A and B are shown apart, each in its own frame.
Chain A
């Protein structure tokens, strides 16, 4: 158990520690816990002792298995890994992996990517059920450690329109929501934001397993059907306050963000960048692309060859599988096929159309088990 040694701290640092510790205890850490200050960096060192478990996957927008640019994105589509676009209304966006990022001097660490929502068609009049929500659905297993505790979201954001925006947490059952506001002070300028949320209630339809634990949602626009008051958990599926601006109005331009982190407590720790491989593996629980192939010298038509297709990571559920053709020859209609799908693998099958060399080589299979 880490412990704090106060003997060599200045009075100012002791005071800082006391304030920080009080915040940590208030955020859900037990009073029995103590923390070690390893060096003379005072409160900063204290913060680094707090375990940083970022529940957001691909918060720094480096993983882009589906592609790096998506024009006229359809509602419900996934873009960069784990980030989903949903809309009701006439607004149109192109979403891309951007290299426009906060500087090292600003962020204290190097970000290489952000995600950019470029407005190509504005929606100047938001009807009651119109909305532009950009979300990450957090699996119940991952939400459970944060459930019924205060949490904090931190991120870098840059927007073409100044004003009030909203960030919300909503449960998978769509019967509990908490909305918080944040302000963009300067147009087209990177700003660092932290947004705290009170502990989620035990009441409501919550999934702490493989389903949707919670939606973390940016609202760029929400009609009145989604409006509520900020700061407390409410009954219903709500995503914004009435004070929020229309972020898809004429002139909105680009909305970018990166360094997204969700963690327990009331103090945001520095963005915890995982290794690229570790982040990719987390994404592959929900989406991955594998390469499959098979070949045989068929003695006639309708001869089968089958090969196992193991997945690179165990998936959240048995995934939907879509095959993209590689090099093919002499295959019957409907082949290759992929079936017998579980959350760990599938079976890839070819069938000959006639005697001779029959093959499907370098086919790719996109596997989707998104929430």
Chain B
């Protein structure tokens, strides 16, 4: 491992993990430049292992996000399927208080249709 590791906007010092910004007035940056002039090379910002780990985490994160979306949809369907007309009306009133009565009626009708469809195994 080299004494320094590249980082966005500067370098990280291996000895203490300090971030040294790219500023010619910073004496640590000047020391790093002297270290480079002496023929040394810093470590890359990310090693091959770190890049592979990042890629793996990105795939995992995407999978988790997809699962989360499906889980939320399942939860809504599970709740809606046995709902009575009164429960749907209460839900619409609480969730859409700014809607007009006509708009709330349309939403109630759509949710009724969805609930009936679910009960008949349509989804």
Bound together, the chains give a CA A302 to CA B8 distance in angstroms of 18
Residues of B within 8 A of A342 (CB): 21
Contacts A322-B16, A322-B17 given; does A210 touch B64 at CB 8 Å: no
Pick the contact of A301: B9, B28, B60 (CB < 8 A): B60
Given contacts A211-B25, A318-B26, A321-B19, contact A355 B64 (CB under 8 A): yes
Cα A321 to Cα B17 in complex, Å, equals 9
- Size bin of chain A's contact surface: 20 to 34
What is the bound-complex CA distance between A302 and B57, given in angstroms? Answer: 7
Q: A329 CA to B92 CA in the complex, in Å?
A: 39
CA distance A340 to B64 in the complex (A): 31
Bound Cα distance A342, B19 (Å): 12
Our pick among B8, B13, B17 for the contact of A339 (Cβ within 8 Å) is: B8
Task: Provide the bound-state CA to CA distance between A311 and B95, in Å.
Answer: 45
Q: Which residue of B lies closest to A342 (CB)?
A: B21
Is A253 among interface residues, defined by CB-CB distance under 8 A?
no
A301–B57 CB distance below 8 A: yes
Asked if B7 lies at the interface with its beta carbon under 8 angstroms from chain A, I say yes
Whether A299 lies near B65 (C-beta < 8 A) is yes
With an 8 A cutoff between CB atoms, is A368 at the interface? Answer: yes
Check if A302 sits within 8 Å of B58, measured CB to CB: yes
Task: Please tell me if A337 contacts chain B, counting CB pairs below 8 Å.
Answer: yes
Q: Is B61 positioned at the interface, with any CB of A under 8 Å from its CB?
A: yes
Q: Is A370 part of the contact surface with B, judged by Cβ < 8 Å?
A: yes
Is B61 within 8 A of A318, CB to CB? no
- Which residues of B lie under 8 Å from residue A211 when comparing CB positions? 25
Q: Is the CB of B61 within 8 A of A302?
A: yes
What's the minimum C-beta distance from B102 to chain A, rounded to whole angstroms?
36
Contact of B25 among A210, A299, A332 (CB under 8 A): A210
| A316 in contact with B57 given A299-B68, A300-B65, A322-B16 (CB within 8 Å) | no
Alpha-carbon distance A340/B8, docked complex (angstroms): 8
B61 touching A339 by the CB < 8 A rule? no
**What distance in Å separates the Cβ of B104 from its nearest Cβ neighbour in chain A?**
31
- A301 close to B21 (CB less than 8 A): no
Q: Is B18 an interface residue (CB 8 A)?
A: yes
Residue in contact with B21 in the complex, picked from A300, A332, A337, A341, CB distance below 8 Å: A341
B26 touches A319 (CB 8 A): yes
Q: Which residues of A contact B29 (CB under 8 A)?
A: 320
Interface residues of A in 228-279 (CB under 8 A from B): none
CB distance from B67 to the nearest CB of A (A): 10
Distance (whole angstroms) from the CB of A254 to the closest CB of chain B:
29
User: Is B23 at the interface (CB under 8 A from chain A)?
Assistant: yes
Contact of B17 among A317, A323, A371 (CB under 8 A): A323
- Also in contact, A341 and B9, with CB within 8 A (given A300-B61, A300-B65, A320-B18): yes
- Known A-B contacts: A299-B65, A320-B13, A320-B20. Give 4 more (CB < 8 A): A301-B64, A302-B58, A318-B22, A339-B10
